Structure 1
Amino acid sequence: MPGTGPQPPPPQQAYGAPPAYGVQPGPAPTSDEQLWGGAAHWTAFVASVVALAFLGPLIVMLTKGNESAYVRRQAVESLNFQLSILIYGLVSLALCLVLIGFVLLPAVGLLWLVCTIIGSVRGARGEEYRYPVTIRMVS
């Protein structure tokens, strides 16, 4: 009898990173949104000169976050990461008293540098980027 044989399996989803939780895919960001999305990440480098890397993403979020959902998502993500790194750095500094902090402090610094560069590049391309090991304090 036709049609009673084995059915082919349903198509598989493409491999790759799943979308971040709570992030709905929307229209592609405009070039201005991409610029500000990248700025939400790389302004952390500028603000790190005064040891307050969270100020850059905070300023982007407060100035351009209400104009674009994409820019707000990127600024909030970067702000949460910068605040998390600040906490990790302070804990590592305190742990220098028991010597483990001397290993953790450079590791935290390297994590900050690498992840902030990756976030800047992806934000400027218009891609969603979620930082690893981030405490989600701001939403």
Structure 2
Amino acid sequence: MSEFDNVTAPPPPPSSEAPQEDRTIALLTHLSGIIAGFIVPLIIWLINKDKTDKSWLNDQSKEALNFQITIAIAYVACIVLSVIVIGGLLMPIVWIVNLIFCILAGVKANAGEAYRYPFALRLIK
């Protein structure tokens, strides 16, 4: 079993209906990535990682954190590539992708569904 087997892991099956409070926090966690990057998902994950009754919120905050780390790596790559101009062209594309996927994830999280970003490095497991 290699390290990359978990890259496209499906979301965990819902053990029970997520409470409205958790769904709202997950919505805000996903949407905060548009402006604040990985800071808010990191804080939410650190606060709730040891609480067993917050497993769904913990999963969603880890998913948002992994995606925002992936976006941060893409921004760094764009900055490095801006030396040869292509980075300046890619940076708005990365921002638009971040915007679209954060909104999609926020809508799904508010509906109580566990959302998986189509591409994200699963660094936090």
Question: Could you state the TM-score of these two structures normalised by the residue count of structure 1?
Answer: 0.75
Unaligned runs of 5+ in 2: 1-8
Partner of 2:25: 36
| Structure 2 residue 106 is matched with structure 1 residue 120 | yes
- Whether contact under 8 Å (1:96, 1:102) holds in the other structure is yes
| Residue 80 (1) aligns with residue 66 (2) | yes
Higher RCO (C-alpha 8 Å, min separation 6): 2
Partner of 1:24: 13
CA RMSD, 1 decimal:
1.6
Deviation at 1:22, TM superposition (A): 5.7
Deviations 1:35-62 (A, max 9, x none): 122122123245x2xxxx1010011111
Q: For residues 114 and 21 of structure 1, what CA distance do their matches in structure 2 show?
A: 20
Query: Which structure has the larger Rg over C-alpha atoms?
Result: 1
Q: Partner residue of 1:95?
A: 81
Q: Which runs of 4+ in 1 moved over 4 A?
A: none
Q: Distance in 2 between matches of 1:57 and 1:108?
A: 19
Find out whether 1:62 has 2:46 as its counterpart. yes
Change over 3 Å in CA distance of 1:136–1:122 after alignment to 2 = same
Could you tell me how far apart the structure 1 residues matched to 2:33 and 2:95 are? 13
Equivalences, count: 115
Identity %: 28
Unaligned 5+ segments in structure 1 are 1-19
SS at match of 1:23: coil
Paired with 2:85 and 2:120, the residues of 1 have a C-alpha distance of: 24
Q: Which has the higher helix share?
A: 2
